[in-house]
Structure 1
Amino acid sequence: MRHDAPAADNVADAPKFLNAVEVAQRLRVSRSTVYNLIASGRLAAHRNGGGKIRPRGVRVPEAAIEAYLNDSLIAPTEVA
């Protein structure tokens, strides 16, 4: 079976996915915090792999990180 390589412009348009360690570094939190955010539904992620040969892992799209950060913004309070 032959698989043709994707066109270069399709690769540039593909969303970038980060693993839990990369997300933790970007958000400056621990890896367990990333897993807790995913489990609580506050951070969207995709689960991939499974079984003995390939351990299960999560991948978070960059867009989900941006959405999480935008939803986490708080309005500044006015000082009277």
Structure 2
Amino acid sequence: MSHDAPAADNVANAPQFLNAAEVAIRLRVSRSTVYNLIASGRLTAHRNGGGKIRPRGVRVPEAAVTAYLADSLIAPSEVA
């Protein structure tokens, strides 16, 4: 069908989302730290469900993880 190709293009161009465990692996921190970064607003996330203690289905855009890492770079003179 002619309308199948654009749908495939939309999937390829869609932003990629990571769960808290995948973000923790990329940042080399615990999942608890990932949740704290989200709660403090330093890491953008989307909630896919609700929970009383921790929200279930938290998804972080891959671009947000990349931006967080880029913002956390320090200059060599700042290391002491």
TM range (shorter): 0.7 to 0.9
Q: Tell me the residue number matched to 1:49.
A: 49
Task: Give me the TM-score of the superposition, normalised by structure 2.
Answer: 0.80
User: Could you say which structure has the higher helix fraction?
Assistant: 2
Helix, strand or coil at the partner of 1:15: coil
Task: State the identity as a percent.
Answer: 85
Which sections of structure 1, spanning at least 5 residues, go unmatched?
Answer: none
What are the equivalent positions in structure 2 for 1:19-38 lying under 5 Å apart?
19-38=19-38
Q: Which digits, 9 at most, give the CA deviation of each residue in 1:35-79, with x for residues without a partner?
A: 00001111000111237xxx722100000001100110111118x
Alignment-derived partner of residue 9 in structure 1: 9
Structure 1 ranges of 4+ moved more than 6 A: none
Q: Report the residue type matching 1:28 in the other structure.
A: R
Residue 74 of structure 1 corresponds to: 74
- DSSP-derived class of the 2:56 partner: strand
Question: In 2, Cα distance between the equivalents of 1:9 and 1:25?
Answer: 29
Measure how far apart 1:30 and its partner are. Answer: 0.4
Provide the C-alpha distance between the structure 1 equivalents of 2:56 and 2:29, rounded to a whole number of angstroms.
21
| CA deviation vs aligned residue, 1:1-58 (integer Å, no higher than 9, x gap) | xxx977111100000000000000111110000000001111000111237xxx7221
SS at match of 2:76: coil
CA RMSD of aligned residues (A): 2.2
Greater strand fraction, Structure 1 or Structure 2: 1
